[in-house]
Structure 1
Amino acid sequence: MFRERLAQDAARIQDHFDLVLGALDDLDATRAMAYATEGGKRLRGFLVLESARLHSIGPEQAIWPATGIEALHAYSLVHDDMPCMDDDDLRRGRPTVHVKWDEGTAVLAGDALQAIAFELCTHPEVGPVAVRAELALTLAQASGARGMVLGQALDIAAETTEMPLTLDEITRLQAGKTGALIEWSACAGARMAQADRAPLRQYAQALGLAFQIADDILDVEGDAEKAGKRLQKDAEAGKATFVSLLGLEAAKTRATDLVDQACAALDGYGAKAETLKDAARFVIARDS
């Protein structure tokens, strides 16, 4: 059920991207935007759509912020892959945007994807003005210097520090870099319904940390062809990770415990939350 729903939602988001981006002028930057938003698991968009379903909000409303969060995630990957950041030449098994085009085009495509994320989240079909305003405000907080950008800045700073990061420091870093957008996505449905967000926030915080630990595990023992990107970069750079600090088996145990916590946070929703629980289990079972 979960994998079918994930695939269906991914296709729905792609159709929406085709509609929205297809209306833009045909330029290198807009072609790069479309390229950057193709493929991927669409987990964040799925979380928006599924948390909306949990609150009886249909996809005709939720597709806008679901596509919006995927646009913002794509922008972060385009910029993160650039030479001034992680300097990656492969993403999802294809050349990264700055490799396929050039650095200037990658900057512009990323900038435009960030902007269009907010445009999509504030579209009139999303709901009342107050709901759209809260989605935009919280997305700004989750993606900026209080969230994802904070995590990325801490990550860059860690590359030049003489002392490896502690477990608490890595947890804080990843809560911003990876966890903040996952939390926003999982809480979007409750925000649209103006309902209690606490259970979904607890779910997402555990899910986001499990996701990053799973990424660290994949970086050590994953298949680069399946991952569609170069692996073992952190070890080569001498960066502290959950695996380097906890050890491989303890990291796997920690990820499993976090998934159990995520699932327990949703118990109050009953059977309606089973697909979200399956999403948590998928996070540590994936191979890419």
Structure 2
Amino acid sequence: MGVDIARAALAAGHRVVGSARDAATVEAAVGEHADLLAVSLDITDTASIDAAANAAIDRFDRIDVLVNNAGNFQAGYFEEISPERFRAQMETNFFGPLNVTRAVLPVMRRQRSGHIVTITSTAGVVSGGFGSAYGASKFALEGWTESLREEVEQFGIHITAVEPGFFRTELLVEGSSTLWPDLSIDDYTDTASTIEAWKSMNGKQSGDPAKLAASLVKILDLDEPPARWVAGADAVQAVKQKGQTLIDQADAHLDLSTGLDHTDDAA
């Protein structure tokens, strides 16, 4: 998805800083372009993040948009994911974007302008079985962006969470962005078949990441960009259904939910 976003931004006339663990892979994927700066960046390494931000300022004098897109998918039932793997999921999907944003926010505050876009997921609104680690990381991003939005709007900085549905990216490519559970518990008898079901989805997702990228560039050009952009018909349906489910759950036990305030003793 990052490659398509970079290409769409360049095609729209924007200057782009493209990052990867190895800068050479950026130019190999996107191609050479006068307005492209390829930098090496590891979202878990603050030194490399600071170096990349400084390189962007040296080349282009400012940073107007940050797109937090890096991430991976730790699949599996909660009990079959080791604590180390669960923490690693949070380190990449949650703390990684936080690390990059910490480096860029001071620049945007000085500018009194900017737009931070964080790719979360439909799984940041609607999580499900076999996705507890991934869902936790994406829910955390949603909560963070919601609070950050209120904190930085005073500086003219916009915050947008992008919630894609299923898009035909490398997320489900084994050995690339997907990790299968590292533990095995006999009671979870369908683990193997569930893994095969996930694998079978690779390359068959309905969403076109190039179309998402083109639409995202249009979102960036809006004077008042949305707090959330739900991307994909499947995502829209899932988020709407979750919204109604939350309303139903809030209304389900009003007799027990309300009337819980302190009752002051009579004077």
Say yes or no: TM over 0.5. Answer: no
Shorter-chain TM-score: what band? 0.3 to 0.5
Structure holding more strand per residue: 2
What TM-score does the superposition give when structure 2 sets the normalisation length? Answer: 0.32
Structure holding more helix per residue: 1
